[in-house]
């Protein structure tokens, strides 16, 4: 675009016109995808529960996975009001809430990088103002802590797991 502007304004004024354009628009480089998006895309889909107790319009998960150190973790999640992701570790009777999206935003895709012990949760819904909201979470199962949360556009992520 800047090269086209120089042709239109001529070589003598092209440099000053480009500086004006950069000052007016801002110096922007093409946005590089966040590594979190790449890691989420290559992670393995967690299987959904297919029981009849889950309506056809929502999803639920209950999956047992092993951490790199061999410990087992049960991942529970539900797409709907109160939907969040809970973890049960074999060394504790209590569940840990790994991801609790804001009101009206529910988990709709869970993926796991088993070799790294990282759980990825995509959550989608409507904000209170009626605008769509898409969040991507990264949770370290071994350290039992949320690492990151990104707000994204649907076009930035691959399709959800079937």
Beta-bridge partners for 87: 75, 96
Query: Per residue in 78-97, pLDDT tens?
Result: 998 889 999 999 888 889 99
Q: What pLDDT digit, counting tens, does each position of 125-142 carry?
A: 998 778 899 999 999 999
pLDDT exceeds cutoff 90 at 28: no
CA distances from 33 to 38, 115, 139 (A): 8, 23, 19
This prediction has a pTM of 0.77
């Amino acid at each position: 675009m800047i090269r086209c502007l120089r042709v239109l304004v001529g070589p003598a004024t092209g440099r000053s016109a480009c500086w004006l354009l950069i000052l007016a628009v801002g110096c922007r480089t093409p946005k590089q995808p966040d590594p979190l998006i790449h890691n989420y895309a290559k992670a393995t889909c967690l299987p959904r529960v297919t029981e009849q107790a889950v309506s056809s319009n929502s999803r639920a998960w209950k999956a047992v996975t092993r951490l790199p150190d061999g410990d087992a973790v049960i991942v529970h999640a539900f797409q709907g009001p109160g939907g969040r992701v809970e973890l049960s570790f074999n060394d504790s009777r209590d569940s840990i809430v790994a991801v609790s999206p804001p009101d009206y935003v529910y988990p709709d895709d869970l993926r796991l990088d088993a070799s790294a012990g990282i759980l990825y949760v995509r959550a989608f819904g409507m904000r209170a103002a009626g605008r769509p909201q898409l969040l991507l979470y990264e949770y370290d199962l071994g350290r039992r802590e949320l690492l990151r949360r990104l707000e994204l556009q649907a076009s930035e992520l691959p399709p959800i797991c079937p």
